[in-house]
Amino acid sequence: MSRRAATLTVASVLVLVLGMVGALLPVPYVALMPGPTSDTLGTDDKGVPLVRIDGQRTYPTDGHLNFTTVTYRGGPGGRIDLLTALRGWVEGDVAIVPEETVFPKGESQQKVDEENTRQMRDSQESAEAAALNELKIPIRNQVQVDSVQKGKPAEGRLKPGDEIVSVDGAPATSVSDVTGRVTRRKPGDPVTIGYRRDGKDGKVTLTTVPAPTDAKRPVVGIVLADRFKFPFKIDISVGDVGGPSAGLMFALAIYDKLTPENLTGGKFIAGTGTITPKGEVGPIGGIQQKMIAARRAGAAVFLTPAGNCKDALAARPDGLRLVRADTLKSAIESINVLNGAKGTIPSCENR
């Protein structure tokens, strides 16, 4: 073999080896894929209803109201390799996204999982409140300290589980009410917070500090959550699923179980969307993968938050009708129209 041929052979082998090694190097991307869907009107694999109501009359249901999920591969604890990322970019049901869109910088996978669990818990409570508000069933709202941030003014002064009852003497009626009153001040201003702990009332005056992401916004270092006192017990059981995006479907299931009419009319309806206690539906992530999961499960109708309509239209699977859901009320009305009631159904095309 000539020297030139030998050199080319060695170079080719080196390029091949380097290419193979490079393809197996971890990259800071996450692969999002269609996840399982679950019928909020049905039961889990142990026969336990996903939504169970005790202490209030319920009615038989039919059809499906499925919430959808997204699974992922990658993350700080186990990054995907370049080859997997490249393969995902050409597959129609996989989205390859930068790692920080799922795992914010500086946060571990455990921290993200804990936050997703908290969001799921909050979304369930918001769904319960939204359904009961829609049914005009009275509930009582509490503003509760969910966590206290280290190094902030509230550390050692307020505790998780404290009920916030007032801000500078004005009653605290909701999280937005409390945060609004605090943020109307300037960093360095004092704020007096009334709280209830273990049945006893107390007050604490804190000096606000600038928010880490906005020096003009004052904070005291507490994460708040709306908590509600319901007149009867509602249990939602979904295993280890996290995040807030099933709120709309939980609320619809609760509404359906508490009303004598069969909401779905036997139809297979799936959907997604966050929900507020007032019934407002918000956008979510992974809409493409969730639609694919819904269609594979058998859904013909997909309830879509208005903020996701553009992306949903661009990736809608064949045979799946997109119904725009702005509020719990509008979603219920749209389903009723699908079942023959008079009215129009808002779509993503005319958002």
Q: Which of 245, 257, 330, 334 is catalytic?
A: 245
Side-by-side strand order, sheet with 321-325: 95-98, 29-39, 64-74, 268-271, 301-305, 321-325
Which tokens belong to 255? Answer: 């509404």
The answer to whether 136 is a known catalytic residue is: no
Name residue 58's amino acid: T
- Euclidean distance between CA atoms 258 and 251, whole angstroms: 11
- The rounded radius of gyration (Å) of the Cα atoms in the chain is 25
Helices (H), 66-210: 82-90, 109-134, 175-183
Q: Which of 152, 166, 290, 334 is catalytic?
A: 290
Nearest residue to 225 (alpha-carbon basis) of 151, 115, 349: 115
Is the distance from CB of 163 to CB of 196 less than 8 angstroms?
yes
The answer to whether 290 is a known catalytic residue is: yes
Is the distance from CB of 146 to CB of 227 less than 8 angstroms?
no
Which tokens belong to 44? Answer: 């889990």
Q: What are the two backbone dihedrals, phi and then psi, of residue 57, each rounded to the nearest 5 degrees?
A: -65, 135
Tokens 């393969």 belong to: 87
Q: Give the relative orientation of helices 109-134 and 247-257 as an angle to the nearest 10 degrees.
A: 30
Active site residues: 245, 290
